[in-house]
Amino acid sequence: MSRSLGVAVASAALLATLLSGCSPSSYTNDESELEPVGEPVVVDPDTEARSFEWNSAEVVPAPVVKELPGGGIAWDDAVNYAGTAQRVCGPLAGGGNSDDDVFLNLGRDYPDSERFQIVIWDVGGLEPIDGRVTLCTSGPITLYEGVAQIELTDPSLIEIYE
């Protein structure tokens, strides 16, 4: 076993031991209980032990990064950018039409007011879009009855990612 692999195995075993003493009630998030880690890891006794000095610097959690194809902002953050032009992406949650206009809902479906909506005016209709895709489009974000939306007249401005 290489030295770096041995150190990694020893670190994993130490972490598992430390976490086994934590009670689920000490967590502050709402995630469901953790699954058991599995069988104990056997650590090579010849592995070099390392000591660490505690760093008293404040720990700031890293921001949650949402993977968006080609960049832009997430559908659920678009309401915070009303009045600006942005590229918005999100999972297709549903859609509908009214006369010649098409409405595509990202993240949540109509009538949920927290959805993001792409409105395509005067197109008559669109070919069906598989519901397991991510859509992206760019343009000025406006609010209609509290719902963030981008209005388009050309459906080719919508990018589809599977």
Residues 25 and 78 in one domain: no
Residue 12 belongs to what H/E stretch? Answer: helix 3-20
Domain extent at residue 56: 1-61
Residue 35 sits in the same domain as residue 94:
no
- Residues 25 and 55 occupy one common structural domain: yes
Which residue type sits at 113? S
pLDDT in tens, 47-57: 554 443 444 45
Q: What are the structure tokens assigned to 155, written together?
A: 């459906």
Give the count of domains, the chain: 2
Which residue is associated with the tokens 């915070």? 80
Confidence band (pLDDT; 50, 70, 90) for 86? very high
Comparing C-alpha atoms, which of 85, 86, 91, 147 is closest to residue 119? 147
Please identify, among 28, 61, 94, the residue that sits at the C-terminal boundary of a domain: 61
The average confidence (pLDDT) of the chain is: 73
pLDDT tens track for 34-71 = 454 455 545 555 555 444 344 445 554 544 445 788 88
Q: Which H/E stretch holds residue 159?
A: strand 159-161
Residues shown for the chain:
162
**pLDDT confidence of residue 130:** 75
pTM: 0.59
- Are the CB atoms for 134 and 91 separated by under 8 Å? yes
Q: Phi then psi for 80, rounded to 5 degrees?
A: -75, -10
In this model, does residue 145 exceed pLDDT 50?
yes
Confidence of residue 99 (pLDDT cuts 50, 70, 90): confident
Taking the C-alpha atoms of residue 124 and residue 103, their distance in angstroms, rounded to an integer, is: 11
